[in-house]
Amino acid sequence: MTNLFPPFEPDRKNGRRRFSRLRRIPVRLLVPNMVTLLALCAGLTSMRLAIEHRFELAIAAIAFAAILDMLDGRIARLLKSTSRFGAELDSLADFVNFGVAPGIILYTFALHELKSLGWIAVLVLALAAVLRLARFNVALDAPPKPAWAQGFFVGVPAPAGAMIALLPIYLELIGTPHVGLTAVVASFYIMGVAFLMVSRLPTLSLKKSGERVRRDMVLPIMIAVVMFFALLLSFPWTTLAVGSLMYLAAIPVGVLRYRALARAHGDAGADPLDDLNAEVKPAVVPAAHEPVPEDAKPTSQGSRKSSGKNAS
């Protein structure tokens, strides 16, 4: 008789089991996935809150999901519990939290006034999120980027895209009047954010810069973080609105910084605005009558390496 629940084997490959049926799974392997599931619960709850017209709490739930999304990958690397299962689960949760939930909130808030046109904007945002996450999963098997390029995302990441997509709600909550064109402007703005998510624009990433801090910058950074959270708690909608505008203004800065680094390292071809399209290059298959080059023959080391869980 087979077990009702199959054993948890996140890294099972080629039919081989990493863990025996009788061997217990370390708790550290479950912790990052539990954090991801908590983020998914927050995203799903935000949709319920939006349907109940409790938009402040709905936005707070999305922000909480974004914080958990930043933590789960770091926890996985800290506990050495990264797995392909965790990466796939994280992508599915990100699609719901940052692709579906923000669209539902925006549609309930204002886009329902446009009926089908407003719903099209919601669909574009959701499709952009899922396409971006699919591209990210494909890139897990791609060769690593050069060290200088690891401080950049390709396009706007899903959590940031969700938070800046909610900018029309922030503005109205701080007192911007709701006029007849509010829904129209919001729909075009949301579709613009969707295109930023699937674009090839290099955007600044804090992943690498957050790993090491200069000693003389420790106190200023601590003060800045405390001030940010104090402002966020005291003036949440103003802080989120200003933060969204600052993020949008930083996108051209990221593009210029990326191009400058590419030129400095003599790697102009790595500019994502030119020819960074192929994350995974297909192999060239010769014709039947052509000999196979020696460097194209498979080797014993040609197996794919499973990548760890990273932020999207």
pLDDT band at 74 (very low <50, low <70, confident <90, very high): confident
Question: Is the residue at 295 inside a domain?
Answer: no
DSSP 33-93: HHHHHHHHHHHHHHHHHHHTT-HHHHHHHHHHHHHHHHHHHHHHHHTT---HHHHHHHHHH
- For the chain, what percent of residues have pLDDT higher than 70? 75
Entry pTM = 0.75
> Which has the higher per-residue pLDDT, 242 or 267?
242
- The predicted pLDDT at position 239 comes to 93
Question: Is the residue at 2 inside a domain?
Answer: no
How far is residue 146 CA from its own chain's centroid?
A: 20
pLDDT above 90: residue 194: yes
- The predicted pLDDT at position 8 comes to 56
Question: Is the residue at 12 inside a domain?
Answer: no
For residue 75, what are the domain limits? 27-278
pLDDT above 70: residue 20: no
pLDDT band at 211 (very low <50, low <70, confident <90, very high): low
- The predicted pLDDT at position 273 comes to 45
Question: Is the residue at 61 inside a domain?
Answer: yes
Q: Which range (35-39, 167-171, 285-289) has the least confidence? A: 285-289
- The predicted pLDDT at position 282 comes to 44
- The predicted pLDDT at position 182 comes to 84
Domain count, the chain: 1
Question: Is the residue at 193 inside a domain?
Answer: yes
Cα three-residue angle 232-235-241, rounded to 5 degrees: 80
Question: Is the residue at 145 inside a domain?
Answer: yes
- The predicted pLDDT at position 295 comes to 46
Question: Is the residue at 308 inside a domain?
Answer: no
Summarize the confidence of residues 180-193 as an average pLDDT.
90
Which of 209-213, 221-225, 257-261 has maximum average pLDDT? 221-225
Question: Is the residue at 249 inside a domain?
Answer: yes
- For the chain, what percent of residues have pLDDT higher than 90? 40
- The predicted pLDDT at position 73 comes to 83
Q: What is the CATH number of the domain that holds 193?
A: 1.20.120.1760
From residue 238, alpha-carbon distances to 12, 158, 198, 222 in Å are 47, 22, 27, 22
